[in-house]
Amino acid sequence: MDIRPNLAANAYAASRQATAPQPGDGEGAGAAFARAAGDFAQTLQQGEEMAMQSMTSGLDPHALVQALAQTELAVETAVTVRDKVVEAYQEILRMPV
């Protein structure tokens, strides 16, 4: 097996360029999280508004059930993400330093 430092350095340099982030390549994690949180809040607000309209003005029951199903799905997704974040944090705490 032929191991030369030049080969390793050249391979590393080539792979580093391929994995480097491109300018303007998508949004940051913070912006994505902010957008997801905003969508979650908007979904909850729409479900609440549909429920109030249904009680006060006799809105279509099908629309109410659909809005409540979307709200339930959003809450279940948020709970699942929260559980995964807590689990990852606990795994990090268990790692030896």
Mean pLDDT along residues 19-23: 63
Quick one: pLDDT at residue 55?
Answer: 83
Which residue type, as a one-letter code, is found at position 70?
Answer: Q
pTM score, two decimals? 0.60
For the beta carbon of residue 67, count every other beta carbon within 10 angstroms.
20
Does position 93 have pLDDT exceeding 60, yes or no? Answer: yes
pLDDT, tens digit, for every residue of 31-83? 888 888 899 899 889 888 888 888 888 778 888 888 889 889 999 999 999 99
Rounded to the nearest 5°, which phi and psi values hold at 93? -65, -30
